[in-house]
Structure 1
Amino acid sequence: MRTRAVLVRAAAETFAEYGFAGTTVSRIAERAGLTLGAMYFHFKSKEELARLILTSQPEPVVPPLDSRGLQHAVDLTLAWAYELPGNPVLQAGARLVLEQRLFTEPHVNSHRRWTGLLLEDLEQARRRRELRAGVDTEACARLIVSSCTGAQIQSRPKTSYRDLPARVEEMWRCLLPALAVPSAAKKVRFGEERVRAASL
């Protein structure tokens, strides 16, 4: 299992740096410090590795503070924004989602998983009466994922993702008045301490 984890990390670092087209199995094996034989023992191709990295995107993102509904949706996206600059798997996923036509079917992507997670949060927020009447939770979940994707695309060349948390918080401050009832919007909390509490 350790060799497999080393290969996944090496592949993520290589995909994040070179993209899918610029990555070769030789580059992955070299970065992992392993032979091509070891690489092929665990993975049949770089396509298989790319699909694994793409579809496992939400897994490294776990907000440390307990929250529900609207607050959890905010915490999830902020945790992602703070984690991405130092996490090669998330960086690779951010790049691979733009190149997925080269290695997988359109229905296999991380956007669907992120949208599903946020939809769960928004539906819970509806049950908690945090949302305005008539809010389309599916449309809002897709909008949040699209906005986060756009934010990371803009952030990477400008600041190497350093301003990504500020961009995500800005997105929420624009969305909350339209999405949440005023009393729920006022209770939403932001800040690095919410998503890095476990390491403080």
Structure 2
Amino acid sequence: MAKQERAVRTRRAILSAAASVFEERGYQAATVNEILASAGVTKGALYFHFPSKEHLAEGVLHAQDLEVPIPERACKVQQMVDTVVLHAYRLQTDPMVRAGVRLSLDQQAQGLDRSGPFLRWSDVGAQLLGQAKAQGELLPHVTLTETADVLVGAFAGIQAMSQALCNYQDLPTRVSALLRHILPSVVIPSVLAAVDLTPTRGATVYTELQTLHPDLPTLNALQEPAAAS
């Protein structure tokens, strides 16, 4: 078990270092040697977990995903909103998420399949919208996959704008504005009136998850990576 725990810590340290380098340098400019130096591990240890720079980037792309879902909400529109605003909050606080998003949007990342995060987010959105529709929360014209894709694409643009203008400092406010503009064309007005779209909602959901899952590595360890061994 101790050996397995060391391997987990080493992999986490490598991913954390890779996230830092990819976020700062981008995929094309980043080098494996830079990641090695940042992680403080041997080349053999790195290649045991990640055989190439592409595998490292794919690891970061997947590591940005939260391992636990938003707690079930009676209102599925609120559950969908909470999923979006939590990701926005994590963009401000979690370097792994920031690196994953940069890689997802990096048009210079030749040879790297960047479709995964977009497809996963669209699938999550469509599933939650489907549950909302089944509960009568959506307007009758809504097409689930189309609306999910619009939300994902709009969020990608909003976060890129926030990053360029102020390094994500105003992201919760921008995401709140985005939802206030899009959701009235999707959600029944009486349902939407009860949904919390305030800029502080992401921090509230994050605190809730930390209370429910105090040992969850994705919420805690990535901000203070364990040393490799």
Alignment partner of 1:172: what SS?
helix
Q: What is the aligned counterpart of 1:123 among 118, 125, 130? A: 130
Kept in 1, the 8 Å contact 2:79–2:128? The answer is yes
1:137 Cα deviation after fit: 1.2
1:60 Cα deviation after fit: 5.5
Give the gaps of 5 or more residues in structure 1: none
Kept in 2, the 8 Å contact 1:61–1:80? The answer is no
* Stretch of structure 1 that moved more, 182-191 or 51-60: 51-60
1:57 Cα deviation after fit: 3.3
Relative contact order, CA 8 A, sep 6+: which one is greater?
A: 2
Q: What is the aligned counterpart of 1:6 among 13, 23, 33? A: 13
1:175 Cα deviation after fit: 1.2
Question: 2:26 aligns to what?
Answer: 19
Matches within 5 A, 1:186-197: 186-191=193-198, 192-193=200-201, 194-197=204-207
Matches within 5 A, 1:29-108: 29-59=36-66, 62-63=69-70, 66-67=72-73, 68-99=75-106, 101-105=109-113, 108=115
Alignment partner of 1:133: what SS?
coil
Q: What RMSD, in angstroms, separates the aligned Cα atoms of the two structures?
A: 1.9
Give the gaps of 5 or more residues in structure 2: 1-7, 212-229
TM-score using structure 2 length: 0.80
Question: 1:174 aligns to what?
Answer: 181
Q: Distance in 2 between matches of 1:122 and 1:169?
A: 18
1:103 Cα deviation after fit: 3.1
Q: Distance in 2 between matches of 1:55 and 1:196?
A: 19
Kept in 2, the 8 Å contact 1:51–1:103? The answer is no
Alignment partner of 1:161: what SS?
coil
TM-score using structure 1 length: 0.91
